[in-house]
A and B are shown apart, each in its own frame.
Chain A
């Protein structure tokens, strides 16, 4: 039971970050493999402004989110967009984002040092009892945020004109550009929002484990897995994927040890991809001849 609750909460963390993969995939059909470093970037920016006592915590977090959003938009413009020009089989962007990940990780490590630093911003201390399991408030906050962000994104995509534009670009960028919408701008905005979410995740997560350059790496793997399981083309996907992945890996490591937890989670990805390549909630796109 403990493992079940903890798994769900952990799944919330992964789901929040998975949302940034889903967002960029829906609009641009690309994934940013440097998301892990944006997590760290957010955490360290917030750490850097932590001393500004005149700023409320929420505003500090907002600074971190904003910086990551700007860097994210720039990354799309200069490292993704130039490398996706040759049709859907062109995946050079995958290599350029991996390269970006190397550069950012290296730079952050050189500047901040490899060891974790304590982060007090936006930190809730203490734990609450959920169905007999002790869950830290911070983790619960992250999980709740995952649900809130998901609902916000779904509502925004259905009810706002920006959401309409986003869905239009995802279905047919060429036609949309003929309607006077710049897919490039939409892509930059999406990357900004997605990397903002990554930075938000990083800030809140850093409050539990500390900020370190490599903090994003384990999250990256798990959240890609979650996004793929749920379906890269579905905004609801991360919540379902996160719940499944979190519970499965948590229960398995509870029973058999930590290493098997992760293994089971990654095997889940393989099983889902074989059974439903588009993910559990993803929509299949027909290949037209």
Chain B
């Protein structure tokens, strides 16, 4: 047993356990089950008025169908836009592809309905993958432009492509001899759309069930490590890759997923309305989906649902039309805004007054308070649970201490950089550097500004490809590996300015550091099998242990942005440790810290060494370096200037003159 466990066992006793509500309701799987049941109940309540197919209920069922389609598309866009912060204006394009491909495959292709739907969704996924690969290097406006280009392209093809019939729509009398798709049959039951009085609109059942399932799945995804990886990408792609996320592939996955959800919205439209008009799939549609997400609350679970229901209701009710009439009556018969203009005004007002949307704004306070209470509760649970620490964590530290790992047996040091160099154009930022670090060792890298220290850290962690030289870690070559692969190999890092998720809680920040963020497969995130619950509990316990280690236990429920600067640094170290690294690279950890904080940092780093971690500390703070470092490397102008124990290096004349300048008489 390592010392860490003893520390956490001797932690202060639980305080909140007395006013904990029933433990039953606080169990994650119970909450998830309640949510799922509630979602399905709401879904069935929505279609209850249409159960006998009475004439007046038809328009209501059509409204519900429109809302369902918009919800599914918005849920998909929310994953992309709300979490990964990739604002796509192309969702309407996928919606249109899903709608038309289903209809076309059934009617012209003669495919069985289920196969046609699957085919349409696969097509959306494929188009999404192509667009994703094409746009993955782009961010911000360029990404939005390319997705907008896609939506416009799809609209043009639908409007002008001969099979789809501009004015007549699809299907149409001239080409198909009918203006409505025949009701499809699935598993022996006919799915009637809400069109004919006294015919029960049976299609509504699968429509609302699928919608509920999509909402449930997206909630699972958003709250899984897969969802954390999206937030990490949204925060900073560089950060995400250092957390072990293959950013390129993850971005493609989420775009494809969003595209498929967009297509599913279109499928629902086709099944519910049996007729498609090309001009309804215009730019207004794609913007409405974006508006639904923003209006409801982007980056929230229920936001897209609330936004989609609200927007569809607004657009189809008389309210906006009446507003237009009012303006005509009281302001001017000409200078007034009708529905599209009013939607634009609503959009701007939402951005101004409710930047976090309805759900984000209303839920903000409540959720914040509840999370705090929850965290406080689980403090107790977590500490009790630390007796059975995750096996991996023990394995890492024990192996490191005892030298049982394979690399340890061969006698090769943990990290060996040899002859590493990096040129930027003509500038040699780093030239021919060697660096060796072993387990349980703190290696400080010092040097004046511009000496190449940070570049060296970036070469090690995969941000830059070395121009020359090799890097070996734990017995294998990691030269020029991408950052996420270096991270997965067991190298974690912190940054010069702490890169945290400022709006997430301290605990969630640590949770994002676990290897699961990069490794959880999408299906497991969406379905949330029992193993996920077990792993979540393990991760929570481990995260709380790490927070205790860095002295942040009492802040677990705070937003990371509310922490003082010194504590943010500690949090970043805790997150780095969550990935169960063997080597941690700390880039100027003491920068901006108070003297007392620096002393605490020194204690922390020394205790990490005791646990067998290898540390590389890029630092300017000489007192700290002298206190903690086993080895010191001093760099100047990209080269090795001096190396040895802190006493040797800090008294080296070359080092002194590099920092303070040479005495006058030595100048030529």
Q: A47–B338 Cα gap in the complex (Å)?
A: 24
A61 at the interface (CB under 8 A from B): no
Q: A89–B153 Cα gap in the complex (Å)?
A: 26
B344 at the interface (CB under 8 A from A): yes
User: Which residues does chain B contribute within 8 Å of A224, judged by CB atoms?
Assistant: 145, 148-149
**Stretch from A95-103, A159-167, A200-208 that touches the partner:** A95-103
Which A residue sits closest to B464, measured CB to CB? Answer: A289
Interface residues of A in 235-249 (CB under 8 A from B): none
B439 at the interface (CB under 8 A from A): no
Q: Given the known inter-chain contacts A89-B139, A111-B334, A228-B142, please indicate yes or no for A270 contacting B134, CB distance below 8 A.
A: yes
Q: How far, in Å, is A268 (CB) from chain B's closest CB?
A: 10
Query: Do B335 and A99 have beta carbons less than 8 Å apart?
Result: no
User: Which residues does chain A contribute within 8 Å of B340, judged by CB atoms?
Assistant: 102, 105-106
Q: How far, in Å, is A32 (CB) from chain B's closest CB?
A: 11
Q: Point out the residue from B153, B284, B287, B496 that lies within 8 Å of A263, measured CB to CB.
A: B153
Q: Point out the residue from B144, B153, B348, B458 that lies within 8 Å of A96, measured CB to CB.
A: B348
Q: Given the known inter-chain contacts A95-B351, A99-B345, A270-B149, please indicate yes or no for A110 contacting B338, CB distance below 8 A.
A: yes
User: Which residues does chain B contribute within 8 Å of A277, judged by CB atoms?
Assistant: 137-138, 142
Query: Do A269 and B146 have beta carbons less than 8 Å apart?
Result: yes
User: Which residues does chain A contribute within 8 Å of B496, judged by CB atoms?
Assistant: 289
B77 at the interface (CB under 8 A from A): no
A266 at the interface (CB under 8 A from B): yes
Q: Given the known inter-chain contacts A259-B156, A259-B157, A289-B463, please indicate yes or no for A102 contacting B287, CB distance below 8 A.
A: yes
Which A residue sits closest to B347, measured CB to CB? Answer: A99
Query: Do B337 and A266 have beta carbons less than 8 Å apart?
Result: no
The contact size tier of chain A is 35 or more
Query: Do B140 and A98 have beta carbons less than 8 Å apart?
Result: no
B294 at the interface (CB under 8 A from A): yes
A232 at the interface (CB under 8 A from B): yes
A56 at the interface (CB under 8 A from B): no
Q: A39–B458 Cα gap in the complex (Å)?
A: 48
A221 at the interface (CB under 8 A from B): yes
Q: Point out the residue from B87, B287, B290, B341 that lies within 8 Å of A106, measured CB to CB.
A: B341
User: Which residues does chain B contribute within 8 Å of A79, judged by CB atoms?
Assistant: 348
Q: Could you give, for residues 165-201 of chain A, a 1 whenever the CB lies within 8 Å of some chain B CB and a 0 otherwise?
A: 0000000000000000000000000000000000000
User: Which residues does chain B contribute within 8 Å of A270, judged by CB atoms?
Assistant: 131, 134, 146, 149
Which B residue sits closest to A287, measured CB to CB? Answer: B238
Query: Do B347 and A95 have beta carbons less than 8 Å apart?
Result: yes
Query: Do B140 and A95 have beta carbons less than 8 Å apart?
Result: no
A91 at the interface (CB under 8 A from B): yes
Q: Given the known inter-chain contacts A31-B141, A266-B152, A273-B134, please indicate yes or no for A101 contacting B344, CB distance below 8 A.
A: yes
Query: Do B138 and A273 have beta carbons less than 8 Å apart?
Result: yes
User: Which residues does chain B contribute within 8 Å of A287, judged by CB atoms?
Assistant: 238
User: Which residues does chain A contribute within 8 Å of B338, judged by CB atoms?
Assistant: 106, 110
Q: How far, in Å, is B574 (CB) from chain A's closest CB?
A: 21
Q: A107–B344 Cα gap in the complex (Å)?
A: 11
User: Which residues does chain A contribute within 8 Å of B145, judged by CB atoms?
Assistant: 31, 224, 228, 269
Query: Do B160 and A258 have beta carbons less than 8 Å apart?
Result: yes
User: Which residues does chain A contribute within 8 Å of B287, judged by CB atoms?
Assistant: 98, 102
A77 at the interface (CB under 8 A from B): no
Main secondary structure of the interface of B (DSSP, over half): helix
Query: Do A102 and B141 have beta carbons less than 8 Å apart?
Result: no
User: Which residues does chain B contribute within 8 Å of A31, judged by CB atoms?
Assistant: 141, 145
Query: Do B337 and A95 have beta carbons less than 8 Å apart?
Result: no
Query: Do A107 and B337 have beta carbons less than 8 Å apart?
Result: yes
User: Which residues does chain A contribute within 8 Å of B182, judged by CB atoms?
Assistant: none
User: Which residues does chain B contribute within 8 Å of A274, judged by CB atoms?
Assistant: 133-134, 137
Q: Point out the residue from A30, A96, A106 that lies within 8 Å of B347, measured CB to CB.
A: A96
Q: A225–B149 Cα gap in the complex (Å)?
A: 8
B393 at the interface (CB under 8 A from A): no
Q: Could you give, for residues 262-286 of chain A, a 1 whenever the CB lies within 8 Å of some chain B CB and a 0 otherwise?
A: 1100100110011001000000000
Query: Do B149 and A92 have beta carbons less than 8 Å apart?
Result: no
Query: Do B161 and A259 have beta carbons less than 8 Å apart?
Result: yes
User: Which residues does chain A contribute within 8 Å of B137, judged by CB atoms?
Assistant: 273-274, 277
B135 at the interface (CB under 8 A from A): yes
B419 at the interface (CB under 8 A from A): no
Query: Do A103 and B341 have beta carbons less than 8 Å apart?
Result: yes
Query: Do A94 and B87 have beta carbons less than 8 Å apart?
Result: yes
User: Which residues does chain B contribute within 8 Å of A258, judged by CB atoms?
Assistant: 160
B488 at the interface (CB under 8 A from A): no
A25 at the interface (CB under 8 A from B): yes
Query: Do A91 and B149 have beta carbons less than 8 Å apart?
Result: no
User: Which residues does chain A contribute within 8 Å of B343, judged by CB atoms?
Assistant: 102
Q: Could you give, for residues 335-378 of chain B, a 1 whenever the CB lies within 8 Å of some chain A CB and a 0 otherwise?
A: 11111111111011001100100000000000000000000000
Q: Point out the residue from A94, A102, A262 that lies within 8 Å of B344, measured CB to CB.
A: A102
B385 at the interface (CB under 8 A from A): no
Name which of A30, A100, A105, A221 has the most chain B CB atoms within 10 A of its CB: A221
Q: A236–B131 Cα gap in the complex (Å)?
A: 27
B485 at the interface (CB under 8 A from A): no
B44 at the interface (CB under 8 A from A): no
User: Which residues does chain A contribute within 8 Å of B149, judged by CB atoms?
Assistant: 221, 224-225, 266, 269-270
Query: Do A110 and B336 have beta carbons less than 8 Å apart?
Result: yes
Q: Could you give, for residues 64-105 of chain A, a 1 whenever the CB lies within 8 Å of some chain B CB and a 0 otherwise?
A: 000000000000000100110000110110111011111101
User: Which residues does chain B contribute within 8 Å of A30, judged by CB atoms?
Assistant: 141
Query: Do B351 and A92 have beta carbons less than 8 Å apart?
Result: yes
Q: How far, in Å, is A234 (CB) from chain B's closest CB?
A: 14
User: Which residues does chain A contribute within 8 Å of B89, judged by CB atoms?
Assistant: 98
Q: Point out the residue from B134, B144, B152, B351 that lies within 8 Å of A83, measured CB to CB.
A: B351
Query: Do B337 and A110 have beta carbons less than 8 Å apart?
Result: yes
User: Which residues does chain A contribute within 8 Å of B234, judged by CB atoms?
Assistant: 89
Q: A224–B150 Cα gap in the complex (Å)?
A: 13
Query: Do A95 and B153 have beta carbons less than 8 Å apart?
Result: no
User: Which residues does chain A contribute within 8 Å of B131, judged by CB atoms?
Assistant: 270
User: Which residues does chain B contribute within 8 Å of A289, judged by CB atoms?
Assistant: 238, 454, 458, 463, 495-496
Q: Could you give, for residues 117-142 of chain A, a 1 whenever the CB lies within 8 Å of some chain B CB and a 0 otherwise?
A: 00000000000000000000000000
Q: How far, in Å, is B456 (CB) from chain A's closest CB?
A: 13
Q: How far, in Å, is B150 (CB) from chain A's closest CB?
A: 8
Q: Given the known inter-chain contacts A95-B294, A99-B348, A106-B341, please indicate yes or no for A89 contacting B138, CB distance below 8 A.
A: no
Q: Point out the residue from B142, B153, B351 that lies within 8 Å of A232, measured CB to CB.
A: B142
Query: Do A103 and B351 have beta carbons less than 8 Å apart?
Result: no
B85 at the interface (CB under 8 A from A): yes
Query: Do B345 and A91 have beta carbons less than 8 Å apart?
Result: no
Q: How far, in Å, is B269 (CB) from chain A's closest CB?
A: 22
Name which of B138, B146, B338, B496 has the most chain A CB atoms within 10 A of its CB: B146
Q: Given the known inter-chain contacts A95-B294, A263-B153, please indicate yes or no for A102 contacting B347, CB distance below 8 A.
A: yes
User: Which residues does chain B contribute within 8 Å of A106, judged by CB atoms?
Assistant: 337-342, 344
User: Which residues does chain A contribute within 8 Å of B85, judged by CB atoms?
Assistant: 89
User: Which residues does chain A contribute within 8 Å of B348, judged by CB atoms?
Assistant: 79, 96, 99-100, 103
Q: How far, in Å, is B156 (CB) from chain A's closest CB?
A: 6
Query: Do A82 and B458 have beta carbons less than 8 Å apart?
Result: no
Q: Could you give, for residues 83-96 of chain B, a 1 whenever the CB lies within 8 Å of some chain A CB and a 0 otherwise?
A: 00101010000000
Q: A171–B146 Cα gap in the complex (Å)?
A: 25
Q: A232–B144 Cα gap in the complex (Å)?
A: 14
User: Which residues does chain A contribute within 8 Å of B156, judged by CB atoms?
Assistant: 259, 262-263
Q: Point out the residue from B135, B157, B160, B344 that lies within 8 Å of A99, measured CB to CB.
A: B344
Query: Do B141 and A111 have beta carbons less than 8 Å apart?
Result: no
Which A residue sits closest to B284, measured CB to CB? Answer: A102
With A102-B347, A259-B157, A270-B146 given, name 12 new contacts (CB 8 A).
Answer: A96-B347, A96-B348, A103-B337, A103-B341, A106-B337, A106-B338, A224-B145, A232-B141, A263-B153, A269-B145, A273-B135, A277-B138
Nearest first, the 4 A-B pairs at minimum CB distance are A106-B341, A102-B344, A99-B347, A103-B344
Q: Can you show 27 pairs from A to B with CB atoms below 8 A apart?
A: A79-B348, A91-B141, A91-B144, A94-B141, A95-B87, A95-B351, A96-B347, A99-B351, A102-B284, A102-B287, A102-B340, A103-B344, A105-B340, A106-B337, A106-B342, A107-B337, A110-B338, A110-B341, A228-B145, A232-B141, A258-B160, A259-B157, A263-B156, A266-B152, A269-B149, A277-B138, A289-B454
